[in-house]
Amino acid sequence: MPKALSESETEAFRARICSAAAKLFVEEGPAAVTMRRLANELACGTMTPYRYYDSKEEIITAVRTRGLNRMAEALENALHTPGDGRTRSRQVRDAYLDFARRDTATYRLLFEYPEANRDNPAGRDAHARMWRCIAADTQAMIDEGVIEAESPILAHQLWAALHGAVMLEIAGLLPEGVDAAALHARTFVALMEAARPKPRP
């Protein structure tokens, strides 16, 4: 009879399953994520993954939900650092980049694969949590009077620029000596300049 795992041990093994699934999904495609293949990757019994998840689909959903929540937690910590909106925006950017670089497989699965299940309530809540973090520093700069903009639109522009820079870095398509942070910094300056408050007549 298998030894009963503690709550922390169970959580740790679930995290290992999700990490292995994300890597297989991104490197070899959705068909590579099978319970048997995951068992091989984790060096465990063929039936062991079923003790934690009922199906491959449930695992992919868990990868997305856990990944979004982990990213949101990192961004929340960045938002809570001292400084004005612009300073906190840089902190959020750096936390975002750090997550994408440390767990590239999960990051790619979050955004590259529309067939991954995005319809479960926990996943929607996790996405909303991450979006609140991305939008918060933009709203802070608007509230400070540094810029004038529609917060959701500008926040999406900044996010699109950051995500694009990250994906170019992952693909190795940036010019020599330029990384995602440097590229986004230039785009950020241009967007801030465009949103600078106009002189009142």
User: Which residues touch 195 (CB under 8 Å, ≥6 apart)?
Assistant: 147, 148, 149, 154
* Contact call for residues 18 and 65 (beta carbons, < 8 A): no
Instruction: Give domain status of residue 64, yes or no.
Output: yes
Check: pTM over 0.75? Answer yes or no: yes
Instruction: Give domain status of residue 35, yes or no.
Output: yes
141 lies in which domain range?
A: 7-194
Q: Can you give the pLDDT at residue 1?
A: 44
Identify the CATH number of the domain in which residue 159 sits.
1.10.357.10
Closest CA to 161 of 93, 85, 75, 68: 93
Instruction: Give domain status of residue 18, yes or no.
Output: yes
Residue 68 CB-density burial (10 A; 0-12 exposed, 13-18 middle, 19+ buried):
buried
Instruction: Give domain status of residue 44, yes or no.
Output: yes
Q: What is the pLDDT along the chain (201 residues), one digit of tens a residue?
A: 456 668 888 889 999 999 999 899 888 988 888 889 999 999 998 888 888 888 888 888 888 899 999 999 999 999 998 999 999 999 999 999 999 999 999 999 888 776 555 678 888 899 999 999 999 999 999 999 999 999 999 999 999 999 999 999 999 999 999 999 999 999 999 999 999 998 877
Closest CA to 134 of 193, 59, 74: 74
Instruction: Give domain status of residue 1, yes or no.
Output: no
Instruction: Give domain status of residue 56, yes or no.
Output: yes
Instruction: Give domain status of residue 2, yes or no.
Output: no
Instruction: Give domain status of residue 39, yes or no.
Output: yes
- The count of structural domains within the chain is 1
